[in-house]
Each structure stands twice: as C-alpha cells, then as structure tokens.
Amino acid sequence: MTTLVQGQVRGLITKPILSVLIDTYNHERYIEQAVVSAIEQDFPGSEYEIVVMDDGSTDRTPEIVRKFGPRVRLLSKKNGGQASAFNAAFPELRGELVAFLDGDDWWLPGKLATVATALEQNPGIAGVGHGYYEFNETTGESKLRKAPQPLFVGLSTPEAARKCWLDVTYVHMAAFTVRRSVLDECIPIPETLIFDSDAPIAMAAMAHGALLLDQPLFYYRIHSNNLVGGIDQNDDIRLRRKYEMGDEMFEVLYPMLLRMGVPRDSVSALLDEEWVRHTRHMLSVYGGSRIKAFQTEMRHFRYTCKEPGLAYRLFKYAVVGAATFAIGSRKFYRLRHWYGRQNLGRLREYFAASGETTGHK
C-alpha cells in the first residue's frame, strides 16, 4: 500500500496517518478483545495510534487498558456520555484519518488496511463505512449485515439523500472511518447525545460523499447492557430512553447538516419521514407535550404535501393541529390509529383535492 504519511524526518514518522479511537464505559468483560483487535491489524504499527477514551468507568476497564501501554494511550474523564467522550478525545488525536471502535465490539483483521486504501484511492470522499456481523452474546448467533455491492452515498440532491437513508441500513455508524476534516465540522457534538453519538460523524462524512464497502470488517456485540441493541422489550425505562435519545439525534443532525451547506430539501428528504415515524411512535407510547405532537404533524404535512390547497391547509391546521392541543398526544395518536383502521382517509382526500399531495397517511 502506498504510504499516506504526511511528514517524515530521516525515515522516522513524526505523525501517524491514522488514529484509532476506542470509546468505553464499564466494558471490563470486552475491552481487551476490542484493544487486541486494533493492535493486531495488518497495518504498519508505526503508522497508526490507538487511543482509548474511558468515560469514567467504575469497573476494571482502565486497569485492563493500562497493561497495553505504551502501544495504547489511555485518556480518562468524568462520566458524561459518548458525545462528551468524543469531544474530549478529538483534540488528542494526531491522525489525518480517524477510525472508531466501541469498547464492547471488535474488528476483523484487515479492517484498517482496507479502509485506508479505499480513502487513498478515492481522495474525493470524506469517509468509508462497511458491513459487519451482528453477534448476539446470549444465543451465540452472528448475522451478516452488508450492502450487496460497494455504494457511493451523498446528500447533494433529495433523491440521493432518500437513497442514502436506505443504504446506511447496511452499515453500522460505528463502522465509519473519516478524514479529520469531517470532525473539524461536527465536533463538538452536543453532549445531550449520551449515546448514538457516532451518527452525526457518519452523517457529516456522507454530506461530503462516502463509500460503503460490501465487506464485513467488524463485530457488533449485542448484550444485556447495550444502550441501543439488546434492550429487553419489557424494560420500559430503557426503551423510553432509547427513543428519547433517537429524538435528540434528529434534533442534532438537522441543524448540523444545514450548517455544513447540505440543501434543505436534501436534509428534509434524509430525515423527515424517519423522524416523524420515530416521534409518532414515541408520543403514542410514552406521551409528550402537545406542542411536540403539533410540530410532528406539521412536519409530516410539509414533507408530504409540497403545494397544498387552501382547503387542505385549513383542514390540517384547524382540525389536525387543533386536535393535538385539545386532546393531548396519547389520545390524539389513539384517535389517529382508529381513523386509519376505519379507512377515513377519504375525508382527507376530499380536502386535499384542491392541492397536490404525495406520501402516505
């Protein structure tokens, strides 16, 4: 592989081309496997650094990481969540490329060489993602998640943005390796994003164009303490937290992408439909403010009806919008589900006849 190193003095590398950032919290059962998978990459050891950011673990995680020094650099901070860990670690990274790994997952051999080569061969892209194996610790089963073929994704047009949302289902956000310039644009990440904080980084890379490889290059572990996967469906507290954090993620992504210069229509095409689906479910199950329900329904209205007629506009604001305030979010969505089951959409179609509508109920 052609070297990517930017600076050398008498053959000695003064700056690694790649930083591996492992974020961890109370991963004493898993952190050694994660670190070893980074150390044992078939990539020149002098050309990459490994940094572990410990987010205030209260178990043996820091002790386990220290035994890998000086090959592995341990940073520690008070517990504050994944976004705060990324924000604290970023100034400490020296590489022009940054690869992410959670402390309870692990890489396959060849991960770093593959993504570094892809970035070298495609200088116009901002990041590389790839497939993975979803490993269920309870059952011992692994499921392959990957794209059918390599895909270039971007957000330059609404059509590309809609396709992008479908394509990223093949990759895990933590599978992204990005150029440092991507982090310059999205760091600091709002620290209200306790987990799923890698999503803004991956989306920022896709805003400039990214490559999704069809190779599985890491294992994503599902276990009982996962904050995203592996949650018991009867654990109402953790499920609610997951949905609330998903809502927070959308709140972060929208202004970030606009700030990066992504066209508003593309941002809407990427996020609105999924945001509305997510928020409707959260409000119907857990309730929430009436203002939130109103904003959600108006977001859906703007997204699905580009040129509404006056009658349909009045119907949406005077009937649907007023109902969100009058009866509250839970009752409103129960009524909406009943409305759908009774096939009363023809009433909406009557009001919409004077304007162009697209989308679904």
Say whether pLDDT at 128 is over 50.
Answer: yes
Say whether pLDDT at 195 is over 70.
Answer: yes
Residue 361 binned pLDDT confidence (cut-offs 50, 70, 90): very low
- Report the predicted TM-score, pTM, of the whole model to 2 decimal places: 0.82
> Who has greater pLDDT, 228 or 31?
31
Say whether pLDDT at 72 is over 80.
Answer: yes
pLDDT of residue 323: 86
Q: Where does 31-145 show beta strands of DSSP type E? A: 48-54, 72-76, 97-102, 106-107, 127-136, 142-145
User: Which segment of 100-109, 113-122, 318-327 scores lowest on mean pLDDT?
Assistant: 318-327
pLDDT of residue 360: 41
pLDDT of residue 345: 55
Rounded Cα gap, residues 13 and 91, in angstroms: 20
- What six digits make up the tokens of 45? 């050891």
**Overall average pLDDT of the 233-249 stretch:** 77
> Who has greater pLDDT, 16 or 349?
16
Q: What angle do CA 156, 162, 164 make, to 5 degrees?
A: 75
Rounded Cα gap, residues 57 and 27, in angstroms: 8
Residue 255 binned pLDDT confidence (cut-offs 50, 70, 90): very high
**Overall average pLDDT of the 126-136 stretch:** 95
Residue 234 binned pLDDT confidence (cut-offs 50, 70, 90): low
Render pLDDT for 281-317 as a digit per residue (tens, 0 to 9). 888 888 888 998 888 888 888 878 777 777 777 777 7
First to last CA, the chain: 52
Residue 29 binned pLDDT confidence (cut-offs 50, 70, 90): very high
User: Which segment of 66-75, 169-178, 236-245 scores lowest on mean pLDDT?
Assistant: 236-245
Render pLDDT for 264-288 as a digit per residue (tens, 0 to 9). 999 999 999 999 988 998 888 888 8
Render pLDDT for 140-193 as a digit per residue (tens, 0 to 9). 999 999 999 999 999 999 999 999 988 888 888 778 999 999 999 999 999 988
Q: Which domains does the chain have, with CATH numbers?
A: 8-238 (3.90.550.10), 239-352 (no CATH)
DSSP state, 16? -
Whether 225 and 139 have beta carbons less than 8 Å apart is answered as: no
Render pLDDT for 32-41 as a digit per residue (tens, 0 to 9). 999 999 999 9
- What six digits make up the tokens of 81? 């969540």
Say whether pLDDT at 348 is over 60.
Answer: no
pLDDT of residue 162: 92
pLDDT of residue 342: 61
Render pLDDT for 322-343 as a digit per residue (tens, 0 to 9). 888 888 888 888 888 777 776 6
DSSP state, 169? G
Residue 93 binned pLDDT confidence (cut-offs 50, 70, 90): very high
Percent of the chain whose predicted confidence (pLDDT) is above 70: 87
